[in-house]
Amino acid sequence: MRLVIQRVKSASLSVENNYSTRINEGLICYVAFSSTDSTSDYEWSINKLSKMKIFKNNMSLIEKSGELLIVSQFTLFASLKKGNRPSFSKAANPALAKKLYNDFLTLCTEKLNTTNIKTGIFGAHMLVESINDGPFTLSLDTKQRE
């Protein structure tokens, strides 16, 4: 499981079918899944998301009551080792990835105990706009925990 997390002042997301959502101050979390991801990967990721002290006054997302926008992005598993065309062979297949994404969202809602979570639509072409704060961007890979 890979995540790219950005601290934002605000962000919005829209999809061609007119679905849209937005958050105020908080985090955007782009997430991708591999076929080997499990509940322990979700729990580790959610723990990091909620407890990282990355806001003003050494506050976490939970302490700040910040908002969270979660967006599926399988391209986080792209590899350019062979040639110039990205390979996504390490990403979970779409059916499995959708299940893992939905499981991750469910666990996020349960563990973070908040209604401040917004999401994109799995597999859709989305337009994401954000005002980055910092900028501050982190990447996490649950298979390379430190």
Catalytic sites, residue numbers: 75
Q: What distance in Å separates the CA atoms of residue 76 and residue 89, rounded to the nearest whole number?
A: 11
Question: Do 85 and 79 meet the contact criterion of CB atoms below 8 Å apart?
Answer: no
Residues in CB range of 108: below 8 A, 6 or more apart: 42, 46, 49, 68, 70, 117
Coil, strand or helix at 113? coil
Q: What distance in Å separates the CA atoms of residue 49 and residue 30, rounded to the nearest whole number?
A: 12
